[in-house]
Structure 1
Amino acid sequence: MPRRTPRTALDRLRTPRRTPKFLKAASICVLIAGLLSPTAAATAQAATGTAEAAASNDYCGGQCSDILPPGENGNATLAQILLNQAFGTQPDHAEDQLGPYANLATGYSTLTDAKINNFFNDASFGVPSDQVASTEKPAGRGDVTIVRDKKTGVPHITGTTRYGTEFGAGYAAAEDRLWLMDVFRHVGRGQLTSFAGGAAANQGLEQEFWRNAPYTEADLQAQIDNAVAAAGDRGKQALADVNAYLAGVNAYIDASDSGRYFPGEYVLTGHKDSITNAGTIEHFKVTDLVALASVIGALFGSGGGGEVNNAISLLAAQSKYGVEEGTKVWESFRERNDPEAVLTVHNGESFPYATKPSSPQGEALPEAGSVTQEPLVYDRTGSAATSSATSASKTAATTALTSARRGMSNALVVSGKYTASGHPIAVFGPQTGYFAPQLLMLQEIQGPGISARGASFAGLSMYVELGRGQDYSWSATTSGQDIIDTYAVELCQDDYHYLYHGTCTAMDKIEQKNSWSPTTADSTPAGSYTMRVWRTKYGPVEYRATVGGKKVAYTTLRSSYLHEADSIIGFQMLNDPDYVKGPKDFQSAVQHINYTFNWFYADSQHTAYYNSGDNPVRASGVDAEFPVWAQAAYEWRDWDPATNTADYTLPSQHPNSVDQDYYISWNNKQAKDYTAAPWGEGSVHRGNLLEDRVRKLVAAGGVTRPALVKAMADAALADLRAEDVLPKLLKVVNSSTVTDSTAAAAVSKLQAWVTAGAKRTETSAGSKSYANADAIRILDAWWPLLVKAEFQPGLGSDLYTAFGNNLPIDESPSAAHGPTGSHAGSSFQYGWWSYVDKDIRAVLGESVQGPLAQKYCGGGSLSACRDILISTLKQAAGMTASQVYPGDDQCSAGDQWCADSIVQRTLGGIKHGRISWQNRPTFQQVVEYTSHR
């Protein structure tokens, strides 16, 4: 039987509802032709054993490894798609990295250096001659060769000219991810439904991202022109590289079209005819890459925003407690600069940014109840169709993609002073979510001025974006610092004019019209709608409200808006062996990346860290947490609305460090006084799971690669609530003898789980059942009950709800109600762990730095708090597994393991099996360099 598949973005690509007519006439021909993989059909050249041996420019000494599930091959012919749907067969290299990745969860405890590559790939440069699977000269060029290895099928691109090298990179990208690249250039342009059909998931994807970057074609081209002009010779080289890359992409499109081995999704969506080959796969152009970059930037590199929601919760707090006390309560929950927060730069150095002003200026808080979100979707008549947008935005793939933004992580880096070899060790990578095909792709690029191996986002792989150079490796986590501000523009004349420096100015109306017809892949009835954004000099309109009796539009302005292409220079530098020769060069390179990332570096001698992003210099007195008036006095310093440029904080003011004893990052607080970050950076954060383990290793000394991998893998299976909060909850419960038999049994199970390590682990490899299953079920059920019972009585329903909108209460692996959604892997990034921890410690009479403004559990009474916890614990213990894990399109009700399991969400026609839960990077490196140039 075929495996059950998720109903997600482009979901109907996977299972046509009826047998397509073309199969009746030509199924044999199509199946035979399609059984050739795209790579095999394109190259038609057998491996000859003449590929590169161990490269002379590789200084890792065989100590570099990486992994990227499910597999390198993200393209499939129509026949391969149909065979996958019918029999579960996989194209070559479509999921061969999924098994090793999954197996680490049960294999890490006995890990040795010799076993690391049982769970990772050898990331050495080159391909040993006996491991060559294929060799090709793309489009017959003599200046570039693409070699693929037998184990993973990763392309190793070697060029003798810069143009040929980048041509090969583009060709290899299209071989491995053409369909995905096409999907995302249409997502970025707000045109996915017109391209792939009107399924709700497709609507959700284009709506989610186009609202944030509603660019016209002129906007896209201007970003290229401006980025090239601003970067001098490097900008000119970048444009030349892009054009060569696109030539390679388009050469593959032409070759696969004429050879009829293009991705089968083009047939299923009606773009190609399987019999006549009629139809077109559009060539890529430069502006497509900017559209692609806007999606990636929105997902991973655009921290901040949320000022309107902040204002709503502040007003709710002030309504509940009065202005002075309400403000104190709000600030305590906001935890802007919590003294107990885990830090990446932990040496005590301060990096003030967006700190709370002593006397805020220019605040434009809405009148209570006046805020409405600006409609995005309009029907054929021009009427707002918000219900369509709402339903579309809740689809599984949309949730999974947006959750990827929330969960990009993590990094563990140890200085050579504390390792057994004396060389630094790093285990790091981005947690970009789980998709089929994966958003990232692996590659090696060697050519004039380029020498790197690693992962790149599909369609933006002219350079390696996360990976290794000749004698150094680098990686990133999402940092989330605030580069987005909300301005209140005062309306004049009507709802579509606003005051700009005293002049009534018309908003720009930006529209994207979409229409679709039923296809083999998507039987959604024919339809159409228009997305509309009103744009001001202060950015797109997101909300409307009244402030002090005046009608306003709240706009969202981010520093990377209209600058999606700028970061290409930083990546170019990272790939240049003549540029990066040490940690300071690395920091200089990533300073050119305008998105909000934490960057980590390791070579054989040094480690380093730098927090990137164009952090705007705000006007004196402006509080970055709240909306401000759109007036000259409150604009970013030296802001130019025509180009959206301003003064930015100096590189030295960004959190940075070289050779700290160790670094950890799991989207936690970067450094002391670096305050403009997401909610939830308090005393308990998932960064603590890494901090506690790495600090212990460093204290003991003699750290090894297996030891650091074990620390990561152990944290990846830990339940943050159980490890860092549950012991304190049990301390309250056990402050007196528990006499109720149901509660006592639950306490016993929970305590046994904590004693066993508080992890969500299988009883044995492949068992698909958890050890301590009852305890896990009880905590999953108890957490939302206890949080509500602990805080809602004191906060009141309105404020409790408002704070919940700022920070969801839970993000456990199976919590479909959390921001990540189900089956997404990434967990425990957002939740009320810190609030519960601080409140419970306060009730126990323990010391709390940065406490909440009040005690909430039982009104501060230990006995009353205990009664609340026992009452909710009894309720949770009485819930069945089917109630706690109600089932979905993947799992039967009550299947605990399945509820946690990771699903590769389909963005094309191929589906993969589920794997057990792990909370770890999607692409990951393990590195320890043995020498340096």
Structure 2
Amino acid sequence: MPRRTPHIALDRLRTPHRFPGFLKAASVCVLIAGLLSPLSQAAAAGAATEATAANDYCGGQCSDILPPGQNGNATLAQILLNQAFGTQPSHAEDQLGPYADLAKGYPALTDAKINSFFNDASFGVPSGQAASTVKPAGRSDVTIVRDKKTGVPHITGTTRYGTEFGAGYAAAEDRLWLMDVFRHVGRGRLTSFAGGAPANQGLEQEFWRSAPYTEAELQAQIDGAAARGGARGQQALADVNAYLDGINAYIDASDSGRYFPGEYVLTGHKDSITNAGTIEHFRTTDLVALASVVGALFGSGGGGEVNNALSLLAAQSKYGVEEGTRVWESFRERNDPEAVLTLHDGKSYPYAVKPDNPQGTALPDAGSVTQEPLVYDRTGSAATAAAKSASASAAQSALSSARRGMSNALVVSGRHTASGHPVAVFGPQTGYFAPQLLMLQEIQGPGLSARGASFAGLSMYVELGRGQDYSWSATTSGQDIIDTYAVELCQDDHHYLYRGTCTAMEKVQQTNSWKPTVADGTAAGSYTMRAWRTEYGPVEYRATVGGKKVAYTTLRSSFLHEADSIIGFQMLNDPDFVKGPEDFQRAAQHINYTFNWFYADSRHTAYYNSGDNPVRANGVDAEFPVWARPAYEWRDWDAATNTADYTPPSAHPNSVDQDYYISWNNKQALDYTAAPWGEGSVHRGDLLEDRVRKLVAAGGVTRTSLVKAMADAALADLRGEDVLPGLLKVINSSPVTDPTAAAAVGRLQTWLTAGARRTETSAGSKKYADADAIRILDAWWPLLVRAEFEPGLGSGLYTAFTANLPVDESPSAGHGPTGSHAGSSFQYGWWSYVDKDIRAVLGEPVQGPLARKFCGGGDLGACRDALISTLKQAAGTPAARVYPGDDQCSAGDQWCADSIVQRALGGIKHGRIGWQNRPTYQQVVEYGGHR
């Protein structure tokens, strides 16, 4: 059988990758036989012993889950077995079933059953439950014990160096291939590493555009973070170096033992017969490249000022400047009075508030905006990439789904719980991947005591999890730390005015090339990525403003500071630092990414919104591009270091012991206005708010009841629960005489009465109860939104607004911002606009209404006619058109269209699970004691 080097799964990010058909079963068996010997040697760990639990005050009431499984590495033999027969490596998929089963099992949940759907997250490994014990590289100062149930590493060190060495070694054991992939993504070098498929090209371009760093800049970031952090900074640098030593020790051991991840063979980096080839050691700059990807995905809110400007111009063109601006502002919902808030105590946190008299705004001339090209000099297969843009978009949306994911938090104060201790159910959404972007670990050593999840390759500390007597978690907050500047061009297109001097832009470029791959038909190719950088950040668009040629640049406060957050995470892992909610908040203040942080111990709950929020010049409107002139720069901004004045901790939304907190990427607090579009009267945060508020009002909240509230919200259709009642009220304002419409209304009403959930008829049926009502709403929503708004807005403005905020993000909506099979749903959509408009047409009170009534031009009868007409159209749309099918599902298969796929980032694939709108990693905690 000839050896081939297929592209790895990164070119199929939307679906599990299927390696080529040349892997016939008989040949697979022959090849596996020759590989099992080194594999068996790798598995032969030392005699299993039990890890000793550190001080653990959770009393067995801490649980967590992270699908699909802890083991994200697979040898070539294991990959071939998986591809040929569907077998799974040990602990590769064992958390997927319990995670999926909660959707069916939550109605009967009890405290005793919680760990049927979650894992015990107590410190240590119970007696008799240790599967293996390893002293990595023969070190005497660290031990890695893996438990039988999940294979999670429990790392215990007697020295700080040894502890971090063990963390690095364990990370490489579980995620080496993924870590390697993402250090290349962060550098924009994925194609040269994993092949030049269009999806790989799109992925590396997306991240390199926002962070086109040189190697010197990557090194300077870790050096700068260490220097600025004082003693903690120096300790962080030492921890990083020890962690890297552990990673590299595993690389060497797996290379000599020939049990390294099989993807290295399948991408031509290693030879399965001779073992020729090299797996490169990791360096500190690799970790900064990894951090830049994580920061771009989860912690960089804001931007979009050019698109905002384009939709404002469209509104002004349609209605005139004054009325168009009023219409635009009503759709922007900067500070909507009906928005669900995480902090509901009435306290105001003004940030990026609309100025009374905006200064320095630099709106483009109509029709002048063009995006700055990134790619040049395509050859070979790269030359055809434009024809495959849909595939590239698939790759980008796959990881973007993580950014647009459904991280959520439900935290209840002990004043309202049955035990008198706080209860929390919370976790981040990092998308569904195989292997998962996060990994679990317990780390115990000098100055370190924590268990939980960390991003692969950044697990020198637990990033989300628990300490000895407290737990913490995060959701993406999305507040605006990115601004767009209009730099005036001078001399030519690559010189600009910087504080009065004509200055050359810096050209940063790199050329990526790849070899031919017979397996997927991709020929050899290459292209060059080129970014033009200014003191105000990379150039993203070109335009004219008032006839002057400008370049629009993007400046974010975390640019050149991807490593700065390391100090905050170090503090969160330090039992001598975090002893209460105020300490937790001080640790979170050192994290410069935009996150909502939540905390619970046995006595207190707390919240803090992190991020380096720049202090903008007076009069600057953060929603739009501004002139690149000193008067409009961030206060005390230093271009050389990209530092500025940032809003003080007291100005960030924060709280201790509020009665309860909920977050589902919703608005944080009153007047905290620098948020994404769509934070109005209906937001998926309402699904949590309504349920938790009722629990708190009743009192006696338990872990079980809070998990039930989360799980119930995870199956709810936001449109059905919060918008459909108003739509049916309009339709039923007169008798429905049309039989098709009447039947559809009846089905929708029945489903609504049952709770408007997307649930199976029975466990494992893979068919929805009320399936026809769900089909009707899925078909109806985009039709009714267009019919409601496009006649009044006009097609141009309607299109511009949908570029700011997509109309729909239902579970099956492959056309939405998240993509198909991603789980995350109902974050982005016109739910609030429809709700406000329908209530206005009905004559009901609306706070913060849209500037005009749109449905039927404001006439109830005409609105009703539009809704009935589109409802009839939807009712007649067959399932095969609503759910058109893809390489996962047959056309018309509703359950499959909604289903979640673990998108392959390596050679192992997993089965689909039913839809849940739920965090990827999730904790359920209730502490009974405190130090």
Q: Distance in 2 between matches of 1:906 and 1:715?
A: 27
Q: 1:425 is matched by which residue type in structure 2? A: V
Q: CA deviation at 1:856?
A: 0.1
Matched, 1:836 2:834: yes
Tell me, in whole angstroms, the C-alpha distance in 1 between the residues paired with 2:740 and 2:897: 25
Q: CA deviation at 1:23?
A: 6.2
Matched-pair contact (CA < 8 Å) for 2:355–2:620: yes
- Aligned mates of 1:223, 1:205 — CA distance in 2: 23
Q: Give the counterpart letter for 1:169 in structure 2.
A: A
Q: What are the residue-to-residue correspondences of 1:773-852 with 2, within 5 Å?
A: 773-852=771-850
Contact 2:10 2:904 in 1 (8 A): yes
Question: Are the aligned partners of 1:6 and 1:889 in contact in 2 as well (CA < 8 Å)?
Answer: no
- SS at 1:453 equivalent: strand
Q: 1:192 to 1:551 in 2, by over 3 A?
A: same
The answer to whether residue 55 in structure 2 is matched with residue 51 in structure 1 is no
- Aligned-residue offset at 1:10: 10
Q: Which amino acid is the alignment partner of residue 44 of structure 1?
A: A
Letter of the structure 1 residue corresponding to residue 323 of structure 2: E
Instruction: Tell me, yes or no, if the aligned pair for 1:424 and 1:603 is still in contact at 8 Å.
Output: yes
After superposition, residues 619-638 of structure 1 pair within 5 angstroms as: 619-638=617-636
Q: Output aligned runs, 1:138-217, within 5 Å.
A: 138-217=136-215
Task: Mark the runs of 5 or more structure 2 residues left unpaired by the alignment.
Answer: 1-8
2:601 and 2:865 map into 1 onto residues whose CA distance is 55
The match for 1:649 is 647
Secondary structure of 2:599's counterpart equals strand
Change (3 A) 1:43 1:25: closer
Correspondence list, 1:244-263, <5 A: 244-263=242-261
Q: TM-score, normalised by structure 1?
A: 0.97
1:49-72: CA deviation from partner (whole Å, max 9, x where unpaired): x3135x250000000000000000
**Following the alignment from structure 1 to structure 2, what is the Cα–Cα distance between the partners of residues 841 and 81?**
55
Task: Return the offset for 1:205.
Answer: 1.1
Quote the residue 1:929 is aligned against: 927
State the one-letter code of the partner of 1:27: L
3-state secondary structure, aligned to 1:412: strand
Most deviating of 159-168 and 205-214: 205-214
Query: 2 CA distance for matches of 1:191 and 1:886?
Result: 35
Match of 1:601 among 599, 602, 612: 599
| 2:70 is equivalent to residue 66 of structure 1 | no
Letter in 2 for 1:680: G
Q: CA 1:257–1:168 in structure 2 vs 1: closer, same or farther (change >3 Å)?
A: same
- SS of corresponding position for 1:379: strand
1:490 aligned onto 2:488: yes
Alignment of 1:332-731 (within 5 A): 332-380=330-378, 388=386, 391=389, 394-519=392-517, 523-731=521-729
CA distance in 1, matches of 2:387, 2:178: 23
SS in structure 2 of the partner of residue 62 of structure 1: coil
1:229 is displaced (CA, Å) by 0.8
User: 2:516 corresponds to which letter in structure 1?
Assistant: P
Instruction: Name the amino acid aligned to 2:527.
Output: Y
CA contact (8 A) 1:269 1:521 kept: no
- CA distance in 2 between counterparts of 1:390 and 1:669 reads 37
Hey, what's the Cα distance between the residues in 2 that align with 1:926 and 1:179?
30
Structure-2-length-normalised TM-score: 0.97
Deviations 1:262-317 (A, max 9, x none): 00000000000000000000000000000000000000000000000000000000
* C-alpha distance in 2 between matches for 1:249 and 1:165: 13
1:32 counterpart (36, 45, 67) = 36
Contact 1:540 1:557 in 2 (8 A): yes
Change (3 A) 1:874 1:668: same
Alpha-carbon distance, 1:201 to partner: 1.5
Whole-Å separation in 1 of the counterparts to 2:459 and 2:521: 34
Q: Which amino acid aligns with 2:343?
A: V
- SS of the residue aligned with 2:128? helix
User: Per the alignment, in what secondary structure is the counterpart of residue 355 of structure 1?
Assistant: coil
Partners of 2:70 and 2:778 in 1: CA distance:
35
- 8 Å CA contact 1:20, 1:520 repeated in 2: no
Give the AA of the match of 2:627: W
Q: Kindly provide the CA deviation profile for residues 577-624 of structure 1, in whole angstroms up to 9, marking residues without a partner as x.
A: 000000000000000000000000000000000000000000000000
Distance 1:34 1:808, change over 3 A: farther
Deviation at 1:381, TM superposition (A): 7.8
Q: Structure 1 pair 393/570, CA: closer, same or farther in 2 (3 Å)?
A: farther
Tell me how large the CA RMSD over aligned residues is. Answer: 1.8
Residues 170 and 244, structure 1, Cα contact 8 Å, conserved in 2: yes
Secondary structure of the residue that 2:497 maps to in structure 1?
Answer: strand
- CA distance in 1 between counterparts of 2:15 and 2:806 reads 28
Partner of residue 5, structure 2: none
Q: 1:184 to 1:389 in 2, by over 3 A?
A: farther
Q: In the aligned structure 1, how far is the partner of 2:644 from the partner of 2:20?
A: 51
Q: What's the CA shift for 1:929?
A: 0.2
Please list, as runs of the form range in 1=range in 2, the aligned pairs for 1:202-281 lying within 5 A after superposition: 202-281=200-279
Question: What's the secondary structure of 2:444's corresponding residue?
Answer: strand
- Aligned equivalents of 2:516 and 2:16: distance in 1? 11
State the SS of the aligned residue for 1:725: helix
Question: What is the CA–CA distance in structure 2 between the aligned matches of 1:627 and 1:924, rounded to whole Å?
Answer: 38
**C-alpha spacing 1:162/1:389, structure 2 compared with 1 (3 Å):** farther
Check if 1:853 corresponds to 2:851.
yes
Whether the 8 Å contact between 1:16 and 1:520 is mirrored in structure 2 is: no
The alignment partner of 1:569 has SS state of helix
Return the offset for 1:34: 6.1
Amino acid at match of 2:36: I
Contact 2:381 2:525 survives alignment (8 Å): no
Q: What is the CA–CA distance in structure 2 between the aligned matches of 1:108 and 1:380, rounded to whole Å?
A: 53
CA distance in 2, matches of 1:393, 1:668: 31
Offset from partner CA, 1:312-367 (integer Å, 9 cap, x none): 00000000000000000000000000000000000000000000000000000000
User: Structure 1 residue 396: deviation in Å?
Assistant: 3.0
Closer, same or farther in 2 for the Cα pair 1:150/1:24, shift >3 Å? Answer: closer
Q: Using the TM superposition, give the Cα deviation of residue 45 of structure 1 relative to its aligned residue in structure 2, in angstroms.
A: 1.6
Q: Identify the residue that residue 18 of structure 1 maps to in structure 2.
A: 22
Within 2, Cα distance between the matches of 1:9 and 1:524? 17
Give per-residue Cα distances to partners, 1:364-407, cap 9 Å, x unaligned.
00001100001111124899979639816744342121121011
Aligned partner letter, 2:868: I
Conserved? CA contact 1:591–1:612, under 8 Å: yes
Greater mean alpha carbon deviation, residues 373-382 or residues 184-193: 373-382
**Separation in 2, partners of 1:107, 1:12:** 27
Structure 1 residues 733 and 24: CA distance shift in structure 2, 3 A = closer
C-alpha separation in 1, matches of 2:915 and 2:350: 37
Structure 1 residues 534 and 266, CA gap change in structure 2 (3 angstroms)? same
> 2: CA distance between counterparts of 1:864 and 1:6?
49
Could you tell me which amino acid in structure 2 is paired with residue 858 of structure 1? G
Instruction: Report if aligned partners of 2:333, 2:679 keep a CA contact under 8 Å in 1.
Output: yes
Between the aligned partners of 1:848 and 1:384, the Cα distance in structure 2 is 53
Q: For 1:268 and 1:520, locate their aligned partners in 2 and report how far apart those are by CA, in whole Å.
A: 12
Contact 1:207–1:393 (8 Å) recurs in 2: no
Calculate percent identity across the aligned residue pairs.
84
Deviations 1:599-650 (A, max 9, x none): 0000000000000000000000000000000000000000000000000000
Measure, in 2, the Cα distance between the counterparts of 1:282 and 1:362: 49
Matched, 1:129 2:127: yes
Determine the C-alpha separation between the residues in 2 that align with 1:684 and 1:861: 23
1:22 positional shift? 14
Tell me if the contact between 1:197 and 1:522 (Cα under 8 Å) persists in the aligned partners. no
Query: Is contact 2:67–2:99 with CA below 8 Å preserved after alignment?
Result: yes
Q: Which residue of 1 aligns with 2:3?
A: none
Aligned AA for 1:479? S
